[in-house]
Each structure stands twice: as C-alpha cells, then as structure tokens.
Amino acid sequence: MQGTYTKAVLIVSLLTACGGTNDAPPPRQDSSAANSMAGAPSILVLGTSLTAGYGIDISESWPSRLQKRIDSAGLAYRVVNAGVSGETSAGVLRRADWVLAREHPAVLVLETGGNDGLRGLDPDTLKANILGVFSKAKALTPSPVLVLMAMEAPPNLGDAYTRRFHAVYEEAARESGATLIPFFLDGIAGVDSLNQSDGIHPNPRGADRAASNAWKTLSEVLRQSP
C-alpha cells in the first residue's frame, strides 16, 4: 500500500493547480453519447479535475472512455461528466442538490477527496461530506445506486493521516451502502507515458486506463442494477 501512497502524492500535489470555481459549470456529456443515448438512464460522475478531463478533450476523459465500454457491453446508460477542477468534498456537497435535481441519475459515482488530502483537511470531515452527498442522493425517488471512488492522501502528511484518510473511504462505503472502487489511478500515477506534461493529470492513454480500472467494478454494478 505504501507504493500506492507514494504515487498518490504525485496526483494530489497539483490537483488545485488548474483552479477551482464557485460557479460550477453544468454537467457535460460527450456529444456523441448525448445524441445516441437521449432518454437512457444516467450515470452521474461527480468529481474533480481528474473526472473533468483537465487538459484533454471531454471525449478523451475517463468518463467518456467509460461510455465506450458501456456501449460495447450493450448496457443502456449514458455517462454525465460533472467534474470540477480544484473542488474539495465540501464543494461537491454544496453543489450536490442542484446537480442531482438536474440529472436525477440512476447511478451516482462520487470521485472526491484528492484536494482535501492536498490541503491536509480532516479525514473525518471528508467522510461526513461524502455521507452528506450520499444522503442527498438517497432522498431522491427513486434513489440512485451509489458508487464511491477511493483516493489516497500524500504520504508527507504522516502515516497516521494517510491511514485514516484511506480508511474513510471503506467506512463511508460501508455506512452508506455504496460500492467502493479501489484507487482508480493505480498503474497510472507516476507513469510519464500515461500523464500530461504536468506529471499529474492523465493524458488520453492514461484516462483510458483509468476507465478500465473503474470498469472492473462498475461493470458488475451496472449488470446487477435494475
């Protein structure tokens, strides 16, 4: 696990470099998916710059590459990218109401926490924010299937912090009933050929591999969902 932590610091060290926003943009879709899957149940991906596809075209982001796998599997879902660069878990909690109301997803995938770890924010607050987002989702009728993507904290904050940060995702998934996706940048973080020149954000090849990592778990979730 320490190797994963070491890779994680490369990711979180510049997650906020691309900036945050108080006026969150509306969720985005690859235009090809939007046109071909109109009316299909949605998979809403709430996330950071890693989800937003910072530095690459939205069609090359990992949610768009996930859509390709969904289509190939013959599953009728459309993926909606609601990533915002620089956002913390507190930010995603603040915008959760209007995004959920706008999309009313069949599946909610939450990718958050990298910017919390960068800033050394309290892991228990991260957990509370994750559970807060999921609580808002559960209030929808019908409520979406919940999926949580694990993130890792930078090791320079100390073993106690990184262990607690790691444990928060397992606890939040268990307490909310969400399915947990392991660190989806495993095998990507720290690999020059899979990242942009900043060494942080995946390039198109890295984003495609990230989609493959997420798909290992999401494929089972989608096949088992009503």
* Backbone φ and ψ of 218, nearest 5°: -65, -30
Any idea what the Cα angle at residue 111 is, between residues 106 and 117, rounded to 5°?
155
- The two structure tokens encoding residue 35: 């046109």
Sign of the CA dihedral running 214, 219, 225, 226? positive
- The two structure tokens encoding residue 85: 């660069």
Single-letter code of the amino acid located at 129: N
Q: Where are the alpha helices (DSSP H) in 139-203?
A: 159-176
Q: Which residues are catalytic?
A: 49, 198, 201
Which residue from 184, 186, 154, 202 is spatially nearest to 55, judged by alpha carbons?
Answer: 202
